[in-house]
Amino acid sequence: MKFGILVNEGPYQHQASDSAYQFTKAALEKGHEIFRVFFYHDGVYNASRLLVPPQDDRHIANRWSALSKEYKLDLVVCIAAAQRRGMLDENEAKRQGKDAHNIAEGFHISGLGQLIEAGIQSERLVVFGD
């Protein structure tokens, strides 16, 4: 089965982020296809390369980055939600005249059209968080 994944919650305030990661990993391990993972609303915080959780805690951004690298996942961060929350990739930081960027490896910023495409191209769009 081909899934699209929508993550609406941040990495440490709600279980949705962990559930999305675990679901995505399990689906891939079972041979299913993940068309795209789209991070929206506070879910964009999952893409921060500046997260520094305690050493004995899980590192959500690193988990997603590693999964993306292993399975060539398309991890898309909503541009509007990201900009509102101060999340910028290198290109967007330059475009906005900022001197730094904070999007982790494996993630990229794009628009809501990528979410619509995921819904069209996937057999199921699974939503995590409100």
Active site residues: 78
**80 φ, ψ to 5°?**
-65, -45
Compute the distance between CA of residue 72 and CA of residue 66 in angstroms, rounded to an integer: 9
- The pairing of strands 33-39 and 2-7 is parallel
For residue 94, give Cα distances in angstroms to 27, 47, 104: 36, 18, 16
Report residue 95 as tokens.
Answer: 């475009």
